[in-house]
A and B are shown apart, each in its own frame.
Chain A
Amino acid sequence: MLLVIIGSAGMMKAQCGDELMKQALGAMGNYQYIKDFEAKLPAATAQTGQKFSLVLNSRTVYQINVANGASNAEQVVIEIMDGDKQIGSNLYQGKVLDKFGFNCMKTGAYKLRVYTQNGSEACARLVLSLVKQLPAQ
């Protein structure tokens, strides 16, 4: 049992480390990197998910893209939340997308919730990047 746990942790590290980060950065496109987040979802909490706090600025379009671990049985879902209110998600029309944009109009603290729909263990690397800043009204 212990060997299985250790083996599983080792495999996760191998598949979720620097290479996954490079993959996420490679998929970011021509936008400017701001921050990355490392999601580690063990099976016990994969459906509840992991949350990350971040401050986003008004009049700014961001992109959030994700690279999933090679052994993920399902792709991770990302929700962007303002307090307890879900504003948007990469789960769109039944498909889990690997990137989405967020046109932020209110400066403040937001959260990203990362989870798997069926509770499979997963890891992922998320990259927040700057697409453009909009002029003041």
Chain B
Amino acid sequence: MVNLEPTSPDTALGLQGNIPQGLSPVLQRYWEVLDQVPDPEIPAISVVDLGIVTRLTVEEDGGVRVVLTPTFAGCPALRWMEKTVQKALLEAGAPSVDVQTTFENPWTSDRISEAGREKIRNFGLAPPPRRRPGCAGPDLEALAQAACPRCGSQNTSMKSPFGPTLCRSLHYCFDCLEAFEQFKPL
């Protein structure tokens, strides 16, 4: 299968894994715990792969503070994710967990890790194309030429920018004659 996706080197997050480098053992363990918390709409990828965990710190008393940012502002899974993140950290031994959701570091689809993109593809969705440098906001021209997650063909057409969840669009592949969905670039 040929990888026809455009790549751009202009993102710090999302190129390899989304767990920061050089963490203390405690923080490393908490990040790994969150890396097991699935996205409820695409359970193949974790909230860490998805790039919605923007901050994880441990206070002096051992309490954990997590900052999340939503993929789409109207994401109905957000409260569920806050609760699941909290529960996972408490079960991993954190004495207390405070989860906040903010738009301080707003999510873009470029925050999805490389591993996450591969998991999205294996799940049957086309991963979002990376932003071209200098393109403000989602690149809707790229949306129209999504590569089919089954055969890799770019001989496809977008049927609707809105799909079964806020983060997916509907497409059709003229080579394998099948409909498919794409994780929308944002």
Query: Do these two chains interact?
Result: no
Q: Which residues from chain A sit less than 8 Å from chain B, CB to CB?
A: none
Q: Which residues from chain B sit less than 8 Å from chain A, CB to CB?
A: none
